[in-house]
Structure 1
């Protein structure tokens, strides 16, 4: 496991969700220098504009100073587009999720929102390399817009994609569905199965959500799993640091 890594990724980061994460982040900090990747929403559900939350922005400044990475995660994290018209779109936007913001957008609107998020990061002095769409959903228009955004990468639950050509890199990720007791129990079983399947994988990503932090079972599972993986010798990294390392190794091997 000497060359293997673990990435701790916090989804849906916003002033509203920070109270969910606060104690968990403090517990991780007590383990030592564990870099994290924060998926930051510029205005979560249109009620959390970062520009109106200077204290929270200063908190994220301190996380950058610790070596964490801030990643653009949508604009509003809410699907506000007109109702779906096809059975597939209805499933993706009403059954799979109600928050796939970038799934129904055309290219112009997707680019407008990407540029707004990028401008916000620039105003706040935050370096920006990656974009992760809410619910990992990119429609065709958003996919084209992201390709010409100038950003470095995006990702889904199982892969990284290097932009602009969407070159795919295997990157297995664990994620829970924690909204009910039976879902939490099933998520634990599935996570352990994935750990066995990907035990030798050079990279494992742990994708946490605010709802995970609201339940003792899921919250303690993530902390215990992180500790297990660190004891196994996995190196904690941010997404961009791991990708930079991966690209250097690929160049040297070429």
Structure 2
């Protein structure tokens, strides 16, 4: 296999594309999103995997889905642990309460967890996925990109080497910020959120972009032709100046 030759300017400008909420319950949406990425030139987006989505879709070793997940990792997809349940059952106050109400629909699982419980879920989730894929996970991304103090402490304790939120990618062990950029994503939950995400994506297609850009899609996006069209237009636009890249390339 020969590496793709990019112009020098583009070779230093990276696009990190990812599919979130990967699991047995979202497999058909995953297929549609992956096919759309591949059509536009992103053949191996990062996959953010939920071990047991909302407690209703456990990934079990030896199942057909587990076998497929291992094949995807072997093909070169980076695998991230993406919470455990992807469901927030905690109570919040202050700023955390605002985030829980307005930045997600009850899915900020790691926003209110204490350090002990957050560490348990990260350790058990990582062990499950690494047993299935036969290699280390690339990192951890909290559902809805929301982290509480307990989550940050757990990431340090477990030695997770890469995490991301809405605005940055960093190494939780060293604290080093590996990239600073917004993540372009879409929302399908309400008309207002759809409109807002479409507007942000359109703006991203019209302005100069940072050296490292991130683009993330979710299963719900596959249900909306309007969102899919925006995803395709945004991805195609970004690929004019940024090459598809791997999160691992950010590590020094």
TM bucket by the smaller chain? 0.7 to 0.9
1:234 match: 242
Residue 13 of structure 2 contacts residue 212 of structure 2 at CA under 8 Å; is this kept in 1? yes
Q: What displacement does 1:35 show? A: 2.0
Aligned equivalent of 2:98:
91
Instruction: Report the 3-state secondary structure (helix = DSSP H, G, I; strand = E; otherwise coil) of the residue aligned with 1:10.
Output: strand
Instruction: Find the counterpart in structure 2 of residue 184 from structure 1.
Output: 194
Unaligned residue ranges in structure 2 (runs of 5+): 1-8
Provide the C-alpha distance between the structure 2 equivalents of 1:53 and 1:14, rounded to a whole number of angstroms.
Answer: 14
Aligned equivalents of 2:170 and 2:141: distance in 1? 10
> What's the TM-score, normalizing by structure 2?
0.87
8 Å CA contact retained: 2:48, 2:81: yes
Task: Check whether the contact 2:204–2:234 (CA below 8 A) recurs between aligned residues.
Answer: no
Residues 31 and 191 of structure 1: is their aligned pair in 2 closer, same or farther, counting only changes over 3 Å? closer
| Residue 170, structure 1, aligned to residue 180, structure 2 | yes
Query: CA distance change for structure 1 residues 187 and 93 in 2, over 3 Å: closer, same or farther?
Result: closer
SS in structure 1 of the partner of residue 196 of structure 2: helix
Cα deviation 1:159-192 (Å, max 9, x = unaligned): 1111213222313321122223343233222222
Aligned length: 240
Runs of 4+ aligned residues of structure 1 deviating over 4 Å after TM superposition are none
- Cα gap change, 1:191 to 1:224, in 2 (>3 Å): closer
Determine the structure 1 residue equivalent to 2:159.
150
**What is the Cα-based RMSD across aligned positions, in Å?**
2.0
Distance 1:190 1:200, change over 3 A: closer
Matches within 5 A, 1:16-165: 16-32=25-41, 34-51=43-60, 54-81=63-90, 83-84=91-92, 86-97=93-104, 98-124=106-132, 125-165=134-174
